[in-house]
Amino acid sequence: MKVLGIETSCDETGIAIYDDKQGLLAEALYSQIELHAEYGGVVPELASRDHVRRIIPLIDQVMKQAVCQPDDIDGIAYTSGPGLMGALMVGAAVGRSLAWTWKCPSVAVHHMEGHLLAPMLEDNTPDFPFLALLVSGGHTLLVDVTGIGRYKIIGESLDDAVGEAFDKTAKMLGLGYPGGPIISELALTGQSGLYKFPRPMVNRPGLDMSFSGLKTFVLNTWNKSDKTEQTKANIAYAFQEAVVDTLAIKCQRALKETRYQRLVIAGGVSANTRLRARLNELTHKNSLEVYYPKHQFCTDNGAMIAYAGLQRLIAGEKDGDGFSTRPRWPLGELEAPGL
Ligand code: KG4
Ligand code: ZN
């Protein structure tokens, strides 16, 4: 079964074809980073317009790359939420229209389920059950995963998502967008031991997190500093350490509570080298397994949507005549396919 995946929830147009027997056949991504960079963040209206411009040529490119004709496609999966309404509408409308024209089923995919299942695109995949740490620009979730669509949220950020905290910190320091890769690069030249930022909520029981206070801490530290380039790097270092430490403490606690042997980390922030190193160390020390998507599938992409959609289509799920997009859609509300 070959599934065409379409991702347009934010600022990346991602298209891919995934085959249940042969795996990923083709994949293409157009990132709008340059378009939004001058505004310091994503401008929703510009994002929708650019998806409209890019989506058809990208589908064409991926179909050619996979040597597929419309008849070869058995299903279409598109991100229907959560995300920016206008951006979601582009992928959903094109996905549903193609399904209608090509006479194949389509299925609406939850963007965070796509991220959660992205490690399944690798050769070595985790068995269920596992603990998932989902860290993106809009979400910070600890999820107890017992199967596809069986997700229990056991911890989450009560305010900013981790990726958002990286982005806002970069903006405050006068760095570019998106902040995550820039901060982590800059942190490499930062000195340790100069600043100690708080590890929010680690002294309270439970698995919830909070990152908005850290941002204020960054701002105060920066305003009181000598504002040199080296200070920027030192702050980036201290900020990243605080975030990574907090996430590691919460993961360790959640692993202890669930007694799971496997940890999955996905979403844009899972590309962070320091976070990976820290969680490798944690799992290694406790003889646990850790799984990540490869770098290109940590951030938004079409392959994860094709994969998640394939699982649901195989289980018999498909759209009715209409389609819906859900800018807000809690992951915990998803149901297992076939239920
Ligand atoms: O998953 P994603 O592509 O989009 C959402 O679903 O939100 O995640 C984007 C987020 C951005 O906030 C970006 O700054 C962050 O992931 N990010 C990183 C890194 N690469 C991307 N954060 C920290 N370190 C990175 N290397
Ligand atoms: Zn995402």
| Contact criterion met (CB below 8 Å) for 327 and 88 | yes
Q: Is the CB of 210 under 6 A from ligand 1?
A: no
Amino acid at 183: I
Query: Rounded to the nearest 5 degrees, what angle is found at the Cα of 336, between the Cα atoms of 330 and 339?
Result: 120
Q: What is the rounded distance in angstroms from the CA atom of residue 47 to the CA atom of residue 11?
A: 6
Q: Is the CB of 8 under 6 A from ligand 1?
A: no
Q: Which residues, chain by chain, have CB under 5 Å from ion ligand 2? A: 136, 300
Confidence (pLDDT) at 202: 95
Confidence (pLDDT) at 322: 87
113 three-class SS = helix
Strand partners, 5: 16, 77
Residues 6+ apart with CB under 8 A from 1: 19, 20, 74, 75, 310, 313, 314
Q: What is the rounded distance in angstroms from the CA atom of residue 236 to the CA atom of residue 192?
A: 10
Confidence (pLDDT) at 324: 86
**Dihedral sign computed on CA atoms, order 202, 292, 112, 286:** negative
Q: Give the chain's residues under pLDDT 70.
A: 339
Confidence (pLDDT) at 323: 83
Amino acid at 125: T
Q: Is the CB of 179 under 6 A from ligand 1?
A: yes
Distance 164 CA to ligand 1 centre (A): 8
